[in-house]
Amino acid sequence: MGLLECCARCLVGAPFASLVATGLCFFGVALFCGCGHEALTGTEKLIETYFSKNYQDYEYLINVIHAFQYVIYGTASFFFLYGALLLAEGFYTTGAVRQIFGDYKTSASIGSLCADARMYGVLPWNAFPGKVCGSNLLSICKTAEFQMTFHLFIAAFVGAAATLISLLTFMIAATYNFAVLKLMGRGTKF
């Protein structure tokens, strides 16, 4: 068998749905983890810069942010491993199937709007100033740090959604392959 025939045979047996789902899963996890980490770092900087100058006011929050960053690392490791295992399963079952068949306005004015980080438990009630109102709030919203953090949270959400879609694709492909093998009587007892 020549190189061309071997390559063609390998391509015919490739589980393209699983390959697409693996790529989407890895992309989603990388986007979620990278953007989530940077968004949490940006949140930390916004709290330090605009809401409280006293480190003791937000020391606990910083520890929680760091804990979430470590959770993100663990999530990445789990999903990369999980994606690789599902890809291997896709190769296994697709090969068997192909062998059988061949083939989300506020109406208030800006002067009355406030963001109080103390209300959400982000800062203690004695933190000063703890809240930002009116034109100061508007000026925060126009900063590059806020814009970057905002967009990173959106990108992290998109990454999480892409990961969920990829896992759904894996589930559909695996269910299809299982059903075909069971219907054809070639499936083993599971």
Over range 93-112, report the average pLDDT: 60
By residue range, what is the domain housing residue 88? 1-188
Please report which confidence band the pLDDT of residue 67 belongs to, taking 50, 70 and 90 as the band edges.
very high
The 10s digit of each residue's pLDDT in 127-169 is 888 888 878 877 887 888 888 888 888 888 888 888 888 888 8
> Burial, 21: exposed, middle or buried (Cβ in 10 Å; 0-12, 13-18, 19+)?
buried
Pull the structure tokens for residue 20: 């697409």
Maximal C-alpha separation, the chain: 77
pLDDT at 105: 39
Domains: count for the chain: 1
Reported as a pLDDT band with limits 50, 70 and 90, residue 104 is very low
**How far is the C-alpha of 140 from the C-alpha of 129, rounded, in Å?**
14
The residue among 16 and 29 whose pLDDT is bigger is 29
Q: Quick check: 17 pLDDT over 80?
A: no
* Residue 102 pLDDT greater than 60, yes or no: no
pLDDT band with cut points at 50, 70 and 90 for residue 97: low
Q: Report residue 155 as tokens.
A: 């990108």
pTM of the model: 0.58
Q: What is the pLDDT of residue 79?
A: 83
Q: What percent of the chain has pLDDT over 70?
A: 78
